[in-house]
Structure 1
Amino acid sequence: MKLQFTLTTGAAALCLALTGTTAAADGQAPTCGLNTGEAASGDPIKVGGINGNAPPGDFSGGTDAAAAYFDCVNANGGINGRPIEYIVENDQWNPELAGQVATKLVKDEGVVALVGNGSVVSMAVNAGLYKDEDVMVMASGCAISECYESTNIVSTNQGPLPSGIGALTYAVEELGTTSAACIGFNIPNNGGWACDWMEDYMSSQGLTGTSILMDPTAVDLNSVYLQAIAEGVDTILLMLPAGPAIGLLKVAEEQGGRDLFKWVSPTPLYEPGVAEVLGDYWNDNLHIHTAYPYRAGPLRQ
């Protein structure tokens, strides 16, 4: 299958590991920690990480990458001889649980920072806690407004707002889009935030934009697809994690809907295995914006 990409990038979840670890192409051992080749044995330094791994999406890739990096650091002298004790919690897309696990990490465990976070709900719930406790959070991937507005949170990914607008700009400039529906989750600082900006962008171009927001705990993709048809737009912007986005594309395929719309997506669909899962039906008909350098051609799988 061939998918059309507007930009190219590496996997954002690996940025942390690649920043601190180097491995030569000729097969040399990685360089990390003090690079002593001896395991760290001092008092551990506690670092936390929170992911969201439950329906409707798995965001554990960032904490997995961070754990692999910290294992390498610990096996090579640690930080001045001290190993990193990496404590990972899963908030399961549950705001109440997100608050509980963050409090556990920050107040009970006394972590010095949180690294590799990937969660839709955690940052919104805990941004105030991180600021009040002066704890820095480096997310591997984030999809809500707090990640880009809070002084105590940074993220290695571009986020849904600029990535989504990038996909839509491509659709307007290259595909002739005049009206678009932004499909996202009914989370104010996620789907509501990004899709509101999408509507503002379309309005600024003298075009039409509308939002279709769904409950992440009770996803009905058939109803969402029928609503998109009823809106009468010419373009669908999939402002969704990979799993639900693939699910919606499968619904469209079952109903022969590929050619009813121009289909564009921000970065989440730029993921290994997506082309194989979607198959040839979407060949040259799905346009995906990725996070970094400009304007590449089609990727042939």
Structure 2
Amino acid sequence: MKRVLMALPVLGLLTALTACSGGSGTDGPIKVGAVNGVTGLFQTPEVPQAVKAVFEEVNKAGGINGRKIELLSKDDAMNPQRSTEAARELIDSEEVVALVGSSSAVDCGLNRATYSKAQIVSIPAVGVDPACFTSPNIAPVNPGPFKLLTAMLYYASETLKHDKVCLAFTVLPGSGGGIDAAIKEWSDITGKTLAVKDTSVGQGDPTPYLVKLKSAGCQAVVYNAQVGPWFAQAKTQGMQDVDFILMANAYTDANAALIPAGMKAQAGTEWQPYTDETLPGNERWAKIVNDNKIQKTAFSQGGVMAADVFVQVLKTIKGDITRESVTKAFKEMQPITYPMVGTPWVFGPGQTHNPIEGSRFVKAENGKWTVLPEGFIVPKRNG
């Protein structure tokens, strides 16, 4: 069946999200859960803050059919035991209707079976683990590192027109298969292959890796490790003509300041570049974070988007809002066009969910990031 895209104009977003849904509803708040990394090695405290701010906005406007939305966020501190306990408590004790805005590095891999068994949907703000994109009951609102990698390789070969595209990566445990799949997708689309594929890059002296890349004549290097030492040594090696394309985690003000003058450094972003609040979709996000004094990061963009799409789907439910009715609504929903990302977002009935594709790119200039004009680069097959 052909799906019809539901455009969501930026200026009308607030009105659309605060309107009440149809149906009779029940008393009490609509409980929504999230598993977040607030402490520990992967910290995203701004994400549940952003989700809560969106829900409070809806509640002040009357809620959903008169019911308020209550966010119950649990910090797993990137601890596997805490993550599994948090998910079970939210599902069994708190009886949440869905999980919205999770931002844990370990949640998806640990809890995917739990979500499927409970027949509950999760809409993470930040999908990190490959399991976030290969599970029937999880659909993140970001492209994730693997679809992002495909877009970055595509940008290097098709937009920048480089023949010798190279990869220099630090591979985290469990991510090797996702990286290989991303490279294969790029090769299938473009018919091209990597000139160098090095997935052994460490955090020590970058010289051996850079010498290998230079010797191979790499014109573009897609890279995901340390920034400061890497670029300092790349300049020493005379690699000013190479386009270094960094993963989204490098897109920070601090990293822009570490890139020496004369080096060509670009970074892919998962949402509209957050450093420019005037970009489509960013106006809404900026209002939420500015009004609530929330840290401005790309992850907070994911928090706002996850909450927004959840509310929009919630509004389509006729009758009581329960876990069963929410899951049904997401499995049967129409795609939502959200201007902060490159493709429409949809949950749907599939066994895997990676609906957001593409990337926008920023360039390091004078110690800051400048947004490049191409718009979202979404890999496309010829014909």
- TM-score (norm: length of structure 2): 0.56
Q: Which amino acid aligns with 1:193?
A: G
Structure 2 counterpart of 1:103: 88
Structure 1 counterpart of 2:197: 210
Residues 86-235 of structure 1 aligned to structure 2 (within 5 Å): 86-173=71-158, 174=160, 176-188=162-174, 191-200=175-184, 201=186, 205-212=192-199, 221-223=203-205, 225-226=206-207, 228-229=209-210, 231-232=212-213, 234=218, 235=220
Instruction: Measure the CA separation in 1 of the matches of 2:267 and 2:187.
Output: 18
**Alignment partner for residue 222 of structure 2, among 237, 251, 270?**
237
Structure 2 counterpart of 1:285: 265
Structure 2 counterpart of 1:300: 370
Unmatched runs of 5 consecutive residues or more in structure 2: 1-7, 22-26, 271-340, 344-357, 364-368, 372-383
Asked if 1:22 is matched to 2:14, the reply is: yes
Q: Tell me if the contact between 2:227 and 2:259 (Cα under 8 Å) persists in the aligned partners.
A: no
Unmatched runs of 5 consecutive residues or more in structure 1: 1-15, 24-29, 36-41, 215-219, 240-244
Structure 2 counterpart of 1:249: 227
Instruction: Measure the CA separation in 2 of the matches of 1:297 and 1:117.
Output: 26
Instruction: Measure the CA separation in 1 of the matches of 2:11 and 2:111.
Output: 26
Instruction: Measure the CA separation in 2 of the matches of 1:116 and 1:101.
Output: 14
Structure 2 counterpart of 1:12: none
Instruction: Measure the CA separation in 1 of the matches of 2:171 and 2:262.
Output: 23
Structure 1 counterpart of 2:34: 49
Give the secondary structure class of the aligned counterpart of 1:171: helix
Instruction: Measure the CA separation in 1 of the matches of 2:32 and 2:90.
Output: 8
Instruction: Measure the CA separation in 2 of the matches of 1:65 and 1:144.
Output: 22
Q: Tell me if the contact between 1:184 and 1:192 (Cα under 8 Å) persists in the aligned partners.
A: no
Change in CA separation of 1:163 and 1:86 when aligned onto 2, cut-off 3 Å: same
1:141-175: per-residue Cα shift (whole Å, max 9, x none)?
21232222212111111222221111112222325
Give the secondary structure class of the aligned counterpart of 1:169: helix
Q: Which amino acid aligns with 2:169?
A: I
Residues 66-81 of structure 1 aligned to structure 2 (within 5 Å): 66-81=51-66
Change in CA separation of 1:104 and 1:296 when aligned onto 2, cut-off 3 Å: closer
Change in CA separation of 1:231 and 1:57 when aligned onto 2, cut-off 3 Å: farther
Count matched residues: 258
Structure 1 counterpart of 2:244: 263
Q: Tell me if the contact between 1:202 and 1:208 (Cα under 8 Å) persists in the aligned partners.
A: no
- TM-score (norm: length of structure 1): 0.69
Change in CA separation of 1:70 and 1:192 when aligned onto 2, cut-off 3 Å: same
Using the aligned pairs only, state the percent identity.
Answer: 22
Q: Which amino acid aligns with 2:246?
A: S
Change in CA separation of 1:206 and 1:275 when aligned onto 2, cut-off 3 Å: closer
Q: Which amino acid aligns with 2:229?
A: V
Change in CA separation of 1:230 and 1:128 when aligned onto 2, cut-off 3 Å: farther
1:92-113: per-residue Cα shift (whole Å, max 9, x none)?
2233322121112112221111
Give the secondary structure class of the aligned counterpart of 1:221: coil
Q: Which amino acid aligns with 1:252?
A: W
**Alignment partner for residue 64 of structure 1, among 24, 38, 49?**
49
1:8-53: per-residue Cα shift (whole Å, max 9, x none)?
xxxxxxxx9x799517xxxxxx962549xxxxxx522211112224
Q: Tell me if the contact between 1:199 and 1:209 (Cα under 8 Å) persists in the aligned partners.
A: no
Q: Tell me if the contact between 1:212 and 1:228 (Cα under 8 Å) persists in the aligned partners.
A: no
Deviation of 1:59 after TM superposition, in Å, equals 3.2
Q: Tell me if the contact between 2:153 and 2:165 (Cα under 8 Å) persists in the aligned partners.
A: no
Structure 2 counterpart of 1:32: 18
Q: Which amino acid aligns with 2:14?
A: T
Instruction: Measure the CA separation in 1 of the matches of 2:196 and 2:152.
Output: 14
Instruction: Measure the CA separation in 1 of the matches of 2:151 and 2:192.
Output: 14
Q: Give the superposed CA RMSD.
A: 3.7
Q: Which amino acid aligns with 2:192?
A: Q
